[in-house]
Amino acid sequence: MIWIQREIRLPARTRGFHLVTREVLDALPDLEQVAVGMLHLLIRHTSASLALNENASPEVRRDFETWFDRAVPDGAPYWTHTLEGDDDMPAHVKAALLGPSLTLPISRGRLALGTWQGIYLCEHRDDGGPRSMIATGWGERSA
Amino acid sequence: MIWIQREIRLPARTRGFHLVTREVLDALPDLEQVAVGMLHLLIRHTSASLALNENASPEVRRDFETWFDRAVPDGAPYWTHTLEGDDDMPAHVKAALLGPSLTLPISRGRLALGTWQGIYLCEHRDDGGPRSMIATGWGERSA
Amino acid sequence: MIWIQREIRLPARTRGFHLVTREVLDALPDLEQVAVGMLHLLIRHTSASLALNENASPEVRRDFETWFDRAVPDGAPYWTHTLEGDDDMPAHVKAALLGPSLTLPISRGRLALGTWQGIYLCEHRDDGGPRSMIATGWGERSA
């Protein structure tokens, strides 16, 4: 068995959906030593989230933002937790809908994703600042 | 390697979002023996769910309930599965949106969560009764 | 430790929510050798998803489709990514809401699910074609 566990610091990003696959993999060069195993990513915040979706078109990521902003509106009259800003409570709900983590299979040293699947950092706040992620990998070491 | 697997019984709760981090951890004292590893929680029901979100303000949890009740309304005219009550089909949809499980990293005997992250039991039925969870932990044993 | 990793090919299905528990388990006979462990399933697409929900009533699965089609409508005026068809961008959003993977506990050679929990393949496209899933199992081998 091999275990890898590391914090990955993501710089501040604008509100929206951002492709971070390359950035995450670059921080985890020792995944190459895993013949068969799993990678788990947890974002350690409650107003940002992780998703796995289309890795090619920026339009897709923009449409994600449009849909989520309509479905969970800033400043809606029914929010009672408003002290931290109009975008705070919607950010919590969006984060719960998308989820804080991804669990992904590793095969022969690489993530076994589909051709079009990429890792999204979903930033739900206007000014969320840098984000911290814990990456944990485990599996059988390559011969 | 260490493996831990145990059922955790959660007492009946009112419909809404409930913080259960303490209750879950108290049921798993042997997590302290895990140097690096993972904890997985599965709720074994289709009308309740698990989430990881803000662990401080009761307002946040109340606003979660408000949003989900508006987004997936009880008694909407388009539901056809109505035999088990007005709150049954919405509970299934809410449970699928939030998901039945959490997968969380363990580092030096503790969950490696963010400061504000807590485990929610999301009870989507008016009278859901007690809930059963399977907790599974695995990792490298501390020296 | 035992590791199992295998691709499961799912034949084309109509748009909607489909119960595939039996099909998935039949493809994984060696799970019986796992005394305690986990099974992870990843669908390698961005317009279909996996969920765990009610395994008995076809009405429940039809109502899932109704709710998701209303919440994330085909052909809404705010979509900008429309080149691949009216059902493409909604499929991406639905897939992200439900998620691409399931992580499930194994106990004495069987999935430790609740009585009413079954695995759904959620097909969000009108003509999604066959779908590919990577199944990864790991755990302690039975004595």
Q: Which residues of C touch A117 (CB under 8 A)?
A: 44-46, 100
Tell whether B70 is within 8 A of chain C (Cβ): no
pLDDT in tens, C88-119: 999 999 999 999 999 999 999 999 999 999 99
Distance from CA of C123 to the nearest CA of A (A): 15
CB-CB under 8 Å, C98 with B78: no
With cut-offs at 50, 70 and 90, classify the pLDDT of residue C143.
confident
Q: What integer best gives the mean pLDDT of chain A?
A: 98
pLDDT in tens, A83-123: 999 999 999 999 999 999 999 999 999 999 999 999 999 99
pLDDT in tens, A35-50: 999 999 999 999 999 9
CB-CB under 8 Å, C97 with A98: yes
List the pLDDT tens digit at each of the 143 positions of chain B: 999 999 999 999 999 999 999 999 999 999 999 999 999 999 999 999 999 999 999 999 999 999 999 999 999 999 999 999 999 999 999 999 999 999 999 999 999 999 999 999 999 999 999 999 999 999 999 98
Q: Which residues of A touch B140 (CB under 8 A)?
A: 1, 3
Mutate to test the interface with B, among C38, C119, C121 (most CBs of B within 10 A): C38
Give the ipTM: 0.98
| Closest-CA residue to C15 (of C94, C117, C81) | C94
Residue B111 is predicted with a pLDDT of 98
Distance from CA of C12 to the nearest CA of B (A): 23
Task: Look up residue C20 and give its two tokens.
Answer: 């595939």
CB-CB under 8 Å, C63 with B89: yes
| Closest-CA residue to B94 (of B60, B126, B130) | B126
Mutate to test the interface with A, among C10, C41, C42 (most CBs of A within 10 A): C42
What is the chain A residue with the closest CA to C43? Answer: A114
DSSP-assigned letters across all residues of B89-124: HHHHHHHHHH-SEEEEEEETTEE---TTEEEEEEE-
Judging by DSSP bridges, how do beta strands A131-141 and A110-111 pair with one another? unpaired
CB-CB under 8 Å, A103 with B103: yes
CB-CB under 8 Å, A103 with B98: no
Sheet with strand A131-141: strands edge to edge: A2-10, A131-141, A34-43, A101-107, A110-111
Residue C17 is predicted with a pLDDT of 98
CB-CB under 8 Å, A101 with B102: yes
Tell whether C2 is within 8 A of chain B (Cβ): no
Judging by DSSP bridges, how do beta strands A48-54 and A117-123 pair with one another? antiparallel
- In this predicted structure, the answer to whether residue A143 has a pLDDT above a threshold of 90 is no
With cut-offs at 50, 70 and 90, classify the pLDDT of residue A59.
very high
| DSSP 8-class letter at A67 | H
Tell whether B101 is within 8 A of chain C (Cβ): yes
CB-CB under 8 Å, B112 with A100: no
| Closest-CA residue to A51 (of A75, A35, A67) | A67
Q: Which residues of A touch B103 (CB under 8 A)?
A: 40, 101, 103
Residues A137 and C136: beta-carbon distance below 8 Å: no
pLDDT in tens, C26-78: 999 999 999 999 999 999 999 999 999 999 999 999 999 999 999 999 999 99
H helix or E strand, kind and range, residue B48? strand B48-54
Tell whether C104 is within 8 A of chain B (Cβ): yes
Distance from CA of C138 to the nearest CA of B (A): 10
